[in-house]
């Protein structure tokens, strides 16, 4: 592979520079580990007369990004996974036991196996570059660290300090890692190798001492309490759906009570078992889906995106301000327009509020906040839009209003300007009807809150120019979004699949279920919030407008219950006006508002089985997803899974609706839908693509 360059300096320090040829990232693979074994053998046997070893990277922005995740997908048995872990552990044991000191010189991302290599070194130094981040993200893939991370980190930091990185997968910036003790020094990038050489020589002559290794006495005494608290936190956050954090906790607990060789065996066994678990398979597939869509522009190969040097945003509400803030954060100057100075003031305050919260958490400094705010200018006219390459409208969800805004934009911008609507349900073709440049019109459906939600749904019509699509996709990726390209149609993919799910929740309420029981059933299934809470958050008025669009397009199958209109007549808009299904007492505190039951067809309440609620809502969602694929709204099951997980909160541990359908089996899904149709009506009639797969045995993947 020739990925390790070795250079022995006159000071006796061997610098091994890892630079996997032809790859943007250094990832651990079998060929690379074989090279690494040769490096260690040379030092162990004395063939290389070195006073010490420095491990560094030749990549501009990463040390080691972790293991080759493709390898996880092809592990066929728990024993195979365990064996791979033991082989890697044995290699890192040799690194830790070298007769000379070793120093990890970390610049850029250092994740997973890269962090475990660093932990096996005698000493760690990181650059203070913002790109430097260190972590053990394996739990995010349904795994645990398998090369000694669950055992070396607690012995370096103590139990309390080590558990958070292991159990959450959270990465640490260099300064945070320095404060925690994960790295011993933090230096400017230009000084990294100088500091690493100095550290090697200091460790070699005894003038510098490495951190002591072992579980501190305080942690040994408080171990039961520390583990109890950690377990409670894991269960609170994961709902018990993710086995990896709990297994990691068990491995840490057992391993830290044993000698390191025995502890590593415990870790390897658990890694092997998790590597073939359904949750890990689903999370790994989801990870690969997000990597694949980064290379998929949704247009013919060779189509070039235009660079967006200036963005126009129409509408300074939460969505418009959120889009403006995300663009400013990505370094793009933004012109934000609304009809009044008051609205603009609220929009700019929202942008600043998001940035200030980041500053308080340490993610930005005051200078960074000012730089980003300086990129956003505000106006009540179309002045300043002439040079914008992209204009995104986020105005009220009204077709005629959006057409007027489009006409105003076309009059104020150049011929090559792309116009994007942030509509959540209106067909882009309907918005573009009568436009001067319909080939430049598409949808860019962001999700709220924009600064947190990772999905962007780009909606294209038959008339949309390929370069316009490529431009929208490239811009979305610049904002850090997972971009999925879908075909135009009422509700597109995300809103359309969410609609029957929310409709069914409202129907269950009408039939007598309690608000809190409906929400609890779906959070227990794995959604981050319940459907009734979601309706309040989105806005009951917004839901009603979307429902009207979808009912006109799809008839009674996507019709909401009649009670929705009664909620609007009672001025119940949701959280925005404090009157929805819940009472709000500030912050996230809420309690069900029992007075809403009088607005429902069945004001009395009765007990519902949680499984029944889950089946009705989830299978309505799954069936609509299959219909969207069948009708070519979606280009692939992969796109549908990414969009559902990152845009709608579909449980990641299931891999997305199509992975979940494969797990259930099409025949089971069809039988379930048919039973639901018999009981609740033809809206549950199975999609033709599900029936076909039930008969043929074909899968989505």
Residues with catalytic function: 457
As separate numbers, helices (DSSP H) first and strands (DSSP E) second, the chain gives: 28, 20
SS3 458: strand
Say how far apart CA 258 and CA 607 lie, in whole Å. Answer: 50
Strand order across the beta sheet in which 455-460 lies = 376-379, 334-337, 311-314, 390-393, 418-421, 441-446, 455-460, 482-487
- The residues with which 55 forms a beta bridge, in sequence order, are 16, 104
Q: Judging by DSSP bridges, how do beta strands 590-592 and 582-584 pair with one another? A: antiparallel
Query: For 211, which DSSP code?
Result: P
Q: Where are the alpha helices (DSSP H) in 47-191?
A: 70-73, 78-96, 113-120, 149-157, 159-168, 174-180
Please state whether beta strands 13-18 and 62-64 pair in parallel, antiparallel, or not at all (unpaired). unpaired
- C-alpha angle 519-522-528 in degrees, rounded to nearest 5: 90
Residues in contact with 678: Cβ distance below 8 Å, sequence separation at least 6, in sequence order: none
Query: In this structure, what are the phi and psi dihedrals at residue 579, rounded to the nearest 5 degrees?
Result: -130, 100
Task: Sort residue 362 into left (φ over 0), alpha (ψ -120 to 50) or beta.
Answer: left
Question: What residues contact residue 523 under an 8 Å CB cut-off, 6+ apart?
Answer: 239, 529, 530
Can you tell me whether residue 584 is helix, strand or coil? Answer: strand
Which candidate, 637, 654, 661, places its Cα nearest to that of 278? 654
Cβ-count burial 73-89 (b if 16+ within 10 Å, e if not): eebeebeebbebbbebb
Kindly compute the dihedral angle of the four CA atoms of residues 289, 623, 666, 240, in this order, to the nearest 10 degrees. Answer: 60
Q: Token pair 């840490």 is at which residue?
A: 252
Reduced to 3 states (helix: H, G, I; strand: E, B; else coil), residue 303 is coil
Q: Which of 629, 632, 630 is nearest to 462 (CA)?
A: 632
Q: Residues 28, 29, 33, 34: what is their CA dihedral angle, to the nearest 10 degrees?
A: -160
- What is the CA angle 183-188-193, rounded to 5? 75
**What is the helix (H) or strand (E) element at residue 265, kind and residue range?**
helix 260-275
Place of tokens 């997968």: 169
CA atoms of 268 and 81, how far apart (whole Å): 8
Alpha helices in 121-208 (DSSP H): 149-157, 159-168, 174-180, 192-205
3-state SS string for 334-376: EEEECCCHHHHHHHHHHHHHHHHHHHHHCCCCHHHHHHHHHCE
Do 255 and 151 meet the contact criterion of CB atoms below 8 Å apart? yes
Extract the runs of DSSP E, i.e. beta strands, from 287-438.
Answer: 311-314, 334-337, 376-379, 390-393, 418-421
Look at residue 473 and give its three-state secondary structure. helix
Closest alpha carbon to 388 in 420, 361, 366 = 420
């Amino acid at each position: 592979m020739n990925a390790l360059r070795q250079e022995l300096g006159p000071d006796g320090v061997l610098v091994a520079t890892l630079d996997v040829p032809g790859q943007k990232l250094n990832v651990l693979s079998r060929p690379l580990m074989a090279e690494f074994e040769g490096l260690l053998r040379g030092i162990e046997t004395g063939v290389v007369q070195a006073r010490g070893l420095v491990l560094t990277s030749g990549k501009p922005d990463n040390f080691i990004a972790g293991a080759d995740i493709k390898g996880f997908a092809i592990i066929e048995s728990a024993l195979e996974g365990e064996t791979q872990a033991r082989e890697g552990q044995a290699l890192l044991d040799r690194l830790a036991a070298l007769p000379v000191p070793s120093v990890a010189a970390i610049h850029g991302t250092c994740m997973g196996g890269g962090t475990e290599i660093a932990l096996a070194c005698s000493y760690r130094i990181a650059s203070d570059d913002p790109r430097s981040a260190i972590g053990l993200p394996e739990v995010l893939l349904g795994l645990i660290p398998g090369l000694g991370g669950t055992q070396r980190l607690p012995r370096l930091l103590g139990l309390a300090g080590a558990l958070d990185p292991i159990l959450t997968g959270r990465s640490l910036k260099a300064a945070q890692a320095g404060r925690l003790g994960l790295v011993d020094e933090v230096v400017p990038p230009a000084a990294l190798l100088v500091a690493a050489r100095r550290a090697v020589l200091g460790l070699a002559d005894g003038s510098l001492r490495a951190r002591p290794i072992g579980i501190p006495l305080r942690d040994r005494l408080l171990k039961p309490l520390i583990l109890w608290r950690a377990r409670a936190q894991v269960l609170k956050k994961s709902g018990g759906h993710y086995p990896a954090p709990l297994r990691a906790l068990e491995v840490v607990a057992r391993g830290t009570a044993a000698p390191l060789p025995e502890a590593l065996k415990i870790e390897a066994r658990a890694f092997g078992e998790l590597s073939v678990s359904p949750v890990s398979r689903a999370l790994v597939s989801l990870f690969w889906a997000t990597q694949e869509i980064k290379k998929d522009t949704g247009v013919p190969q060779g189509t070039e995106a235009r660079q967006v040097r200036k963005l126009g945003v129409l509408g300074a509400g939460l969505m418009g301000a959120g889009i403006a803030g995300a663009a400013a954060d990505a370094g793009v100057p933004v012109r934000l327009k609304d009809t009044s100075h008051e609205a603009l003031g609220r929009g700019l305050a929202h942008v600043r509020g998001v940035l200030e919260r980041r500053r308080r958490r340490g993610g930005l400094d005051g200078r960074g906040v000012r730089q980003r705010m300086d990129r956003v200018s505000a106006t009540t006219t179309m002045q300043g839009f002439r040079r914008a390459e992209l204009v995104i409208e986020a105005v009220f969800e009204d077709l005629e209003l959006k057409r007027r805004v489009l006409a105003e934009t076309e009059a104020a911008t150049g011929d090559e300007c792309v116009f994007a609507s942030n509509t959540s349900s209106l067909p882009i073709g309907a918005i573009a009807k009568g436009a001067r440049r319909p080939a430049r019109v598409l949808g860019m459906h962001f999700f709220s809150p924009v600064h947190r939600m990772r999905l962007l749904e780009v909606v294209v019509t038959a008339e949309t120019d390929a370069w316009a699509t490529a431009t929208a996709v490239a811009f979305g990726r610049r904002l850090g979004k997972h971009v999925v390209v879908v075909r135009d149609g009422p509700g597109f993919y995300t809103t359309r699949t969410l609609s029957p799910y929310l409709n069914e929740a409202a129907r269950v309420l009408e039939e007598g279920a309690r608000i809190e029981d409906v929400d609890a059933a779906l959070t227990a299934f794995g959604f981050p919030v319940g459907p009734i809470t979601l309706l309040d958050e989105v806005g009951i008025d917004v839901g009603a407008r979307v429902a009207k669009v979808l009912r006109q397009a799809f008839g009674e199958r996507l019709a909401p219950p009649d009670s929705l209109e009664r909620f609007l007549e009672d001025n119940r808009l949701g959280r925005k006006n404090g009157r929805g299904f819940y009472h709000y007492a500030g912050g996230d505190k809420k309690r069900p508002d029992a007075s809403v039951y009088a607005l429902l067809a069945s004001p009395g309440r009765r007990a519902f089985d949680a499984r029944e609620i889950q089946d009705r809502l989830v299978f309505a969602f799954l069936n609509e997803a299959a219909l969207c694929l069948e009708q070519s709204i979606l280009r692939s099951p992969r796109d549908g899974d990414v969009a559902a997980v990152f845009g709608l909160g579909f449980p990641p541990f299931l891999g997305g609706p199509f992975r979940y359908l494969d797990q259930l089996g099409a025949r089971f899904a069809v039988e379930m839908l048919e039973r639901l149709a018999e009981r609740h009506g033809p809206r549950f009639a199975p999609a033709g693509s599900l029936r076909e797969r039930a008969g043929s045995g074909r899968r989505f993947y």
